[in-house]
Amino acid sequence: MTESHSAQISASRYIDFRSDTVTRPSQSMRQAMANAEVGDDVYGDDPTVNAFEQWAAERHGFESAVFCSSGTQANLLALMAHCERGDEYLCGQQAHNYKFEGGGAAVLGSIQPQPIENNPDGTLPFDKLEAAIKPLDPHFARTTLLSLENTINGKVLPLSYLAEAREFVNKHKLKLHLDGARVYNAATALDADITKIVQYFDSFTICLSKGLGAPVGSLLLGSHDLIAKARRWRKVLGGGMRQAGILAAAGQIALKENVSRLGDDHNNARYLAQQLNTVTGFSTKPEFVETNILFAKVDEAIDQAKLLSTLKEKGILLSPGNPMRLVTHLDINRDDIDSLIAELKAIV
Ligand X SMILES: *Cc1c(COP(=O)(O)O)cnc(C)c1O
Give the residues lining the site for ligand X (CB under 6 A): 70-72, 75, 96, 149, 179, 181, 207, 209, 218
Shorter beta-carbon distance to ligand X: residue 92 or 245: 92
d(CA 63, CA 47): 18
Strand 64-68 and strand 15-16: the pairing is unpaired
Sequential DSSP letters for 219-246: EEEE-HHHHHHHHHHHHHTT---SSTHH
The SS3 of residue 178 is strand
d(CA 103, CA 253): 32
Q: Are 37 and 202 in contact (CB under 8 A)?
A: no
Shorter beta-carbon distance to ligand X: residue 248 or 344: 248
Shorter beta-carbon distance to ligand X: residue 153 or 275: 153
Shortest Cβ 33–ligand X spacing (Å): 18
d(CA 250, CA 30): 7
Shortest Cβ 248–ligand X spacing (Å): 15
Shorter beta-carbon distance to ligand X: residue 330 or 344: 330
Q: Are 89 and 114 in contact (CB under 8 A)?
A: yes
Shortest Cβ 92–ligand X spacing (Å): 10
Q: Smallest Cα–Cα separation from 244: which of 18, 67, 82?
A: 67
Shorter beta-carbon distance to ligand X: residue 46 or 149: 149
Shortest Cβ 201–ligand X spacing (Å): 14
Note the helical H segments in the chain.
3-11, 27-35, 47-60, 71-82, 96-99, 104-109, 126-132, 159-172, 183-190, 194-198, 224-236, 245-257, 262-276, 304-313, 334-347
Q: Are 80 and 68 in contact (CB under 8 A)?
A: no
The SS3 of residue 279 is coil
Shorter beta-carbon distance to ligand X: residue 181 or 279: 181
Shorter beta-carbon distance to ligand X: residue 95 or 318: 95
Half-sphere exposure of 142 (CA within 13 A, CB side): 13
345 phi and psi angles, rounded to 5 deg: -65, -35
Shorter beta-carbon distance to ligand X: residue 122 or 245: 122
Question: In angstroms, what is the C-alpha Rg of the chain?
Answer: 21
Q: Are 36 and 47 in contact (CB under 8 A)?
A: no
Residue nearest to ligand X (CB): 71
Shorter beta-carbon distance to ligand X: residue 161 or 282: 161
